[in-house]
């Protein structure tokens, strides 16, 4: 697959998203502490890490859905902490996000789902809305499914419709939360190709959260590996494969036990069995 | 923890919840004028909350009216004034039973539908997706449903009372033999515009309370199957208590 950087993506300088010394805690439990991440313009950047390391939380920080306890989050040159709700909504018009389950509006059909952002944010005449929607649906191969309801779509189709909806306002940044989870190999291949082609053809910057090492190896330009609230490794997928750090090796090789233990912290096994204690 | 301590804690939690509900309602009211601009969305919700509740409202109105006719006839017969049955039924329905029973049925039928629909939208990330599309879910999802409920409730209460009066007439006049002319003429002579207005004021207040509670509970539901179920239950319980408490307050103010 050839990667072609779009002229628009080349126009900007510096990272499109920048997290500096970010700390975030939930109920006193730290999720991130001193997190530093930089997302280059025009690239596909992957965020990987074991389950529970806060990958989705990181996306919520980048989209301004939550605010860090410490540190700075900058997206498209805007410091999110300085934005009020209107400012945040203005910034989000430049972003698109694809949720794990597609998050299509279940009372609207495919066509209306894709048209939704246009109807909410523009005064375009119906003929222009129709053309834009059909073009986006054609791009994801679902023009023929325009009048289907979300309940009639497969998982892969839902994600393709969600992708069409995410790009209908021509955003600068596209964010994908686990876009490959639960897909069959054909649907996975389709979504993988669409993410790459959409990024390159529209000159976007894409952030993909996933723990599928194999797929990310084919897709990402740059990868961050998170563990214990910090970046433990970064680089191209090939560089991560060669990284000797135990936690990186365990994740990339898919080993069950290692620095990320198989067992959740628990009292002594023998003592608990002999005492026949019921876990409190 | 001592009983006093627990009482203090639940009192504080109740106050916090009341505070959150008040802030949410203020936000709903603030975005409602913009939501009214998208009248097509409001009309769809008037249909959902109102038209789809019609059968249960009409059936309940008929039976409540019939019971009122039967009980009223029995009571008035003891005083030899069965001709006042029309007045008694109309006043009872217009001022009390119409708005209150309609509101209780509305909370059970439309309120639960609203809460579970919004709760499920939250559980399936639809509300988060709207926020990510820079669309305020309170304006786009909650406000049209809230306004739809406030508009639908007085209409449903009016239909309930009308059918109820015909139910009372059916039992009183057709079955018990009260004079039809006296039934209707006494009603026309005694029921004043103020009685109708009292019913309308009450039903608007109940519509406001039931819709705001349903939308609040749905929007703040824990996004799991159990969370949505609990929110739906809380909607019925809170709405019913709110309707009865508001009914007493409004009656005391309007009498």
pLDDT at A1 over 60: no
Provide the pLDDT confidence category of residue A214 given band limits of 50, 70 and 90. Answer: confident
Residue that the structure tokens 């330009």 belong to: A221
- pLDDT given for residue A259 in this prediction: 74
Say which range, A141-155, A194-208, B50-64, B224-238, has the weakest mean pLDDT: A194-208
Q: What's the rounded Cα separation, in Å, for the pair B164 and A130?
A: 49
User: Which CATH number goes with the domain that contains A45?
Assistant: 3.40.50.300
Across the interface, do A105 and B126 touch by the CB < 8 Å criterion?
Answer: yes
Provide the pLDDT confidence category of residue B115 given band limits of 50, 70 and 90. Answer: very high
B contact residues 132-161, partner A, Cβ 8 Å cutoff: 132-136, 140
Would you say B242 and B141 are in contact if contact means Cβ atoms under 8 Å apart? no
**Do the domain assignments include residue A258?**
yes
Would you say A70 and A22 are in contact if contact means Cβ atoms under 8 Å apart? yes
Segment (H or E) for A218: helix A213-219
A105 touches chain B (CB under 8 A): yes
Neighbour tally for A18: CB within 10 Å: 18
Partner residue facing A116 (CB), from B125, B131, B133: B133
**Domain segments of chain B as ranges:** 3-254
Give the closest-approach CA distance of A132 to chain B in angstroms.
Answer: 17
A155 touches chain B (CB under 8 A): no
Provide the pLDDT confidence category of residue B119 given band limits of 50, 70 and 90. Answer: very high
Q: Which residue in chain B is spatially nearest to A100 when comparing CA positions?
A: B125
Number of compact structural domains in chain A: 1
pLDDT at A10 over 60: no
Pick among A99, A162, A174, A175 to test the B interface (most B CBs inside 10 A): A99
Q: What is the pLDDT of residues A16-25, one digit of tens each?
A: 888 999 999 8
Alpha helices of A12-98 — where are they, by DSSP H? 55-62, 85-92
**Do the domain assignments include residue A115?**
no
Would you say A6 and A50 are in contact if contact means Cβ atoms under 8 Å apart? no
A103 touches chain B (CB under 8 A): yes
Q: What is the pLDDT of residues A253-278, one digit of tens each?
A: 777 777 777 777 788 888 888 876 66
Specify the higher pLDDT residue, A68 or A273: A68
**Do the domain assignments include residue A240?**
yes
**Dmax of chain B from CA atoms?**
69
**Do the domain assignments include residue A193?**
yes
Complex confidence, ipTM: 0.80
Q: Any bridge partners for residue A45, and if so which?
A: A207, A222
Residue that the structure tokens 């029309």 belong to: B86
Give the closest-approach CA distance of B149 to chain A in angstroms.
Answer: 19
CA angle B182, B188, B192 (to 5 degrees): 145
- pLDDT given for residue A6 in this prediction: 43
Q: Which residue in chain A is spatially nearest to B140 when comparing CA positions?
A: A120
Sign (positive/negative) of CA torsion B26, B31, B37, B40?
A: negative
**Do the domain assignments include residue A176?**
yes
Across the interface, do A105 and B129 touch by the CB < 8 Å criterion?
Answer: yes
Q: What's the rounded Cα separation, in Å, for the pair A56 and A62?
A: 10
Across the interface, do A99 and B129 touch by the CB < 8 Å criterion?
Answer: yes
Domain of residue A81: give its range.
7-105+169-275
**Do the domain assignments include residue A131?**
no
- pLDDT given for residue A277 in this prediction: 62
Chain A CB contacts of B148 below 8 Å = none
**Do the domain assignments include residue A219?**
yes
Radius of gyration of chain A (CA): 21
**Do the domain assignments include residue A119?**
no
């Amino acid at each position: 697959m050839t990667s072609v950087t779009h002229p628009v993506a080349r126009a900007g300088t510096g990272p499109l998203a920048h997290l500096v010394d970010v700390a975030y805690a939930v109920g006193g439990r730290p999720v991130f502490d001193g997190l530093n991440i930089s997302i280059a313009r025009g690239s596909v950047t992957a965020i990987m890490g074991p389950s529970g390391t806060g990958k989705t939380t990181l996306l919520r920080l980048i989209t301004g859905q939550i605010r860090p306890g410490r540190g700075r989050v900058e997206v498209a040159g805007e410091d999110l902490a300085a934005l009020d709700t209107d400012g945040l909504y203005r910034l989000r018009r430049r972003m698109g996000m694809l949720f794990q389950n597609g998050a299509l509006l279940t009372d609207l059909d495919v066509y209306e789902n894709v048209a939704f952002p246009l109807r909410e944010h523009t005064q375009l005449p119906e003929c222009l809305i129709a053309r834009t929607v059909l073009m986006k649906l054609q791009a994801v191969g679902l023009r023929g499914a325009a009048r289907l309801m979300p309940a009639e779509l497969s998982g892969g189709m839902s994600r393709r419709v969600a992708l069409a909806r995410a790009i209908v306002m021509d955003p600068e940044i596209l964010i994908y939360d686990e876009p490959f989870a639960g897909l069959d190999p054909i649907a996975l291949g389709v979504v993988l190709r669409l993410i790459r082609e959409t990024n390159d053809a529209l000159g976007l910057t894409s952030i993909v959260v996933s723990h599928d090492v194999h797929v990310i190896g084919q897709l990402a330009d740059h990868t961050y590996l998170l563990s214990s609230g910090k970046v433990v490794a970064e680089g191209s997928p090939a560089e991560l494969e060669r990284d000797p750090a135990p936690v990186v090796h365990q994740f990339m090789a898919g080993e069950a036990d290692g620095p990320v233990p198989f067992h959740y912290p628990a009292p002594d096994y023998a003592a608990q069995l002999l005492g026949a204690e019921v876990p409190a | 923890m001592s009983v006093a301590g627990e009482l203090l804690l639940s009192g504080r939690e109740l106050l916090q919840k009341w505070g959150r509900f008040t802030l949410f309602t203020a936000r709903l009211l603030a975005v409602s004028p913009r939501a009214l601009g998208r009248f097509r969305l409001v009309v769809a919700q008037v249909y959902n909350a109102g038209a789809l509740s019609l059968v249960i409202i009409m059936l309940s109105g008929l039976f409540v009216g019939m019971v009122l006719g039967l009980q009223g006839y029995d009571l008035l017969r003891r005083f030899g004034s069965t001709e006042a049955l029309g007045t008694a039924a109309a006043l009872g329905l217009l001022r009390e039973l119409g708005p209150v029973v309609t509101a209780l049925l509305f909370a059970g039928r439309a309120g639960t539908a609203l809460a579970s629909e919004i709760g499920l939208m939250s559980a399936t990330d639809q509300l988060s997706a709207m926020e990510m599309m820079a669309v305020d879910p309170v304006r786009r999802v909650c406000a049209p449903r809230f306004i739809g409920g406030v508009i639908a409730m007085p209409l449903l209460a009016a239909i309930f009372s009308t059918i109820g009066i015909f139910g009372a007439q059916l039992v009183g006049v057709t079955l018990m033999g009260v004079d039809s002319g006296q039934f209707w003429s006494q009603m026309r002579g005694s029921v004043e515009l103020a009685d109708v207005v009292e019913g309308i004021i009450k039903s608007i207040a109940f519509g406001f309370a039931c819709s705001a509670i349903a939308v609040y509970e749905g929007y703040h539901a824990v996004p799991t199957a159990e969370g949505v179920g609990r929110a739906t239950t809380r909607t019925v319980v809170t709405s019913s208590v709110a309707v009865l408490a508001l009914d007493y307050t409004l009656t005391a103010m309007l009498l």
